């Protein structure tokens, strides 16, 4: 049976994450080995030539699933008919820039993109925001798209989730495949809280298996939370292939579901669960079935976790207030 291609829009397509992402989307890793895709690349005018070069390389791969590539600097064109949107392009923080300036500059990107999604995307649109500050950029785009169900706007914390899996695997010696139910709570920032109290390593409670509070507080949590900065320090550029990989994982799991007995972490609009104020786009443990996610309910949150979740959520609330103050919500 011939399937209709899925339209996948990628913003910031000429950037370093874009370069690591597009080939994997075109080869079937995003949606599945039997799902044809059409790529819609959005760039700013200065990025168009490089995006065209990437498109030439995509052509040269002769990917059987790739049914077309369109390139534009107009969000209204790039999001037309989009089924999946990966919002990667963002304004990076530069020297001397205050947080308010950064939020304002990103408002200038994510507000018009949200409006273009509202006006032109397909009814089943799923949006993943990767560009930082990802959670609040997702909130800005969502606010500009009142006709799109709000749960379709998500922010990426899957890279943090994957980083936490890897660190826990190194500590316990168990392969990543034997670790389940890890959670990233809060913001994709240094305040995020990677939680192993409900995680399992080879079927045993992870916190009990580790049994090392000092490692948890002084090594694991800061290593995961500050990994982005450590990569920048080491590479001289922010994470790209691992970020692209996490974006693939995020959408693949959103479309295909979580495994039985496991969950994943996604930045999603809060429904008030776990004391996270309603509407904030915060990371939660989620299970996914038939393309719809649900927050895992009923987890007992100990004092150690509560304090850290609250700190990250406070930061998200402050970011929301700041963009409200800028008239972006």
Ligand X SMILES: NC(=O)c1ccc[n+]([C@@H]2O[C@H](COP(=O)([O-])OP(=O)(O)OC[C@H]3O[C@@H](n4cnc5c(N)ncnc54)[C@H](O)[C@@H]3O)[C@@H](O)[C@H]2O)c1
Which tokens sit at 270? 């809060």
For residue 221, state whether it binds ligand LMR (rule: CB under 6 A): no
132 belongs to the binding site for ligand LMR (CB under 6 A): yes
Q: Consult the annotation and say whether 163 binds a ligand.
A: yes
Distance CA 230, CA 278 (A): 32
Between strands 84-87 and 37-42, the pairing is unpaired
Closest CA to 183 of 290, 84, 265, 74: 265
Candidate segments 85-93, 210-218, 293-301, 310-318, binder of ligand X by CB under 6 A: 85-93
Q: Is 31 in the site for ligand X (CB under 6 A)?
A: no
Position with the least CB separation from ligand X: 15
Residue 232 interacts with ligand X (CB under 6 A): yes or no: no
Q: Which residues contact 2 (CB under 8 A, 6 or more apart)?
A: none
Q: Is 198 designated active site?
A: no
- For residue 73, count other CB atoms closer than 10 A to its CB: 15
Candidates 16-24, 25-33, 54-62, 207-215; binding stretch for ligand X (CB under 6 A): 16-24
> In this complex, which beta carbon is closest to ligand X, that of residue 44 or of residue 175?
44
Q: Does 76 bind ligand X (CB under 6 A)?
A: no
**Cβ atoms of residues 125 and 78 within 8 Å:** no
Asked whether position 281 contacts ligand X by CB under 6 A, the answer is no
Site for ligand X in 171-190 (CB under 6 A): 188
β-bridge pairing 183-185 and 193-195: antiparallel
Given the DSSP bridges, would you call strands 66-72 and 281-289 parallel, antiparallel or unpaired?
A: unpaired
The binder of 14, among ligand LMR, ligand X, none, by C-beta within 5 to 8 A per type, is: ligand X
Q: Which of 29, 161, 188, 198 is catalytic?
A: 188
Q: Tokens representing 240?
A: 């790209």
CA 36, CA 186: separation in Å to the nearest integer? 34
Binding of residue 285 to ligand X (CB under 6 A): no
Cα–Cα distance measured from residue 93 to residue 228, given in angstroms and rounded to the nearest whole number? 14
228 is a site residue for ligand LMR (CB under 6 A): yes
- Is residue 14 a known part of a binding site? yes
Q: Which 137-156 residues touch ligand X, going by CB under 6 A? A: 156
Q: Scanning the structure block, which residue is given the tokens 């874009």?
A: 18
DSSP H helices, the chain, are 16-26, 48-61, 75-78, 99-120, 134-143, 158-172, 206-210, 213-215, 221-225, 227-235, 241-256, 303-325
Nearer to ligand X, 65 or 245 (CB): 245
Structure tokens at 276: 């996270």
- Bridge partner residues of 9 (DSSP): 40, 85
Answer yes or no: is 132 a known binding residue: yes
- In the list 231, 266, 280, 296, the residue contacting ligand LMR (rule: CB under 6 A) is 231
Residue 15 marked ligand-binding: yes
The residue ranges that bind ligand X (CB under 6 A) are: 11-12, 14-18, 42-44, 47, 88-90, 92, 109, 130-132, 134, 156, 159, 188, 238-240, 243
Q: Which residues are annotated as a binding site?
A: 12-18, 93, 99, 106, 113, 130-132, 163
Q: Which residues are annotated as a binding site for NAD(+)?
A: 12-18, 106, 113, 130-132
Which residues belong to the active site? 188
The residue ranges that bind ligand LMR (CB under 6 A) are: 132, 159, 228, 231, 238-239, 243
């Amino acid at each position: 049976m011939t399937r209709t291609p899925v339209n996948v829009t990628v913003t910031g397509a000429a950037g370093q994450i874009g370069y690591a992402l597009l080939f994997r989307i075109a080869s079937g890793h995003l949606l599945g080995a039997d799902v044809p895709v059409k790529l819609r690349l959005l760039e700013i005018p200065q990025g168009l030539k490089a995006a065209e070069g990437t498109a030439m390389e995509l052509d040269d791969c002769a990917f059987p699933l790739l049914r077309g590539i369109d390139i534009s600097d107009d969000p209204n064109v790039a999001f037309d008919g989009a089924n999946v949107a990966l919002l990667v392009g963002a304004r990076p923080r530069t020297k001397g820039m205050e947080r308010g300036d950064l939020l304002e500059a990103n408002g200038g990107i994510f507000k018009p993109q949200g409006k273009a999604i509202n006006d032109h995307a397909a009814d089943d649109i799923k949006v993943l925001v990767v560009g930082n500050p990802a959670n609040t950029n997702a909130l800005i785009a969502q606010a500009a798209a009142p006709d799109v169900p709000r749960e379709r706007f998500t922010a990426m914390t899957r890279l943090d989730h994957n980083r936490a899996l890897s660190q826990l695997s190194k500590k316990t010696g168990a392969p990543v495949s034997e670790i389940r139910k890890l959670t990233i709570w809060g913001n994709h920032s240094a305040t995020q809280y990677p939680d192993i109290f409900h995680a399992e390593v080879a079927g045993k409670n992870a916190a009990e298996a580790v049994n090392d509070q000092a490692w948890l507080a002084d090594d694991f949590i800061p290593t995961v939370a500050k990994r982005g900065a450590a990569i920048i320090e080491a590479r001289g550029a922010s994470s790209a292939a691992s970020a692209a990989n996490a974006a693939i994982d995020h959408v693949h799991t959103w479309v295909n579901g979580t495994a039985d007995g496991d969950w994943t972490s996604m930045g999603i609009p809060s429904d008030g669960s776990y004391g996270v104020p309603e509407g904030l786009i915060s990371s939660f443990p989620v299970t996914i079935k038939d393309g719809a996610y649900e927050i895992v309910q009923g987890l007992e949150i100990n004092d150690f976790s509560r304090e850290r979740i609250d700190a990250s959520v406070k930061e998200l609330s402050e970011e929301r207030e700041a963009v409200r103050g800028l008239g972006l919500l």
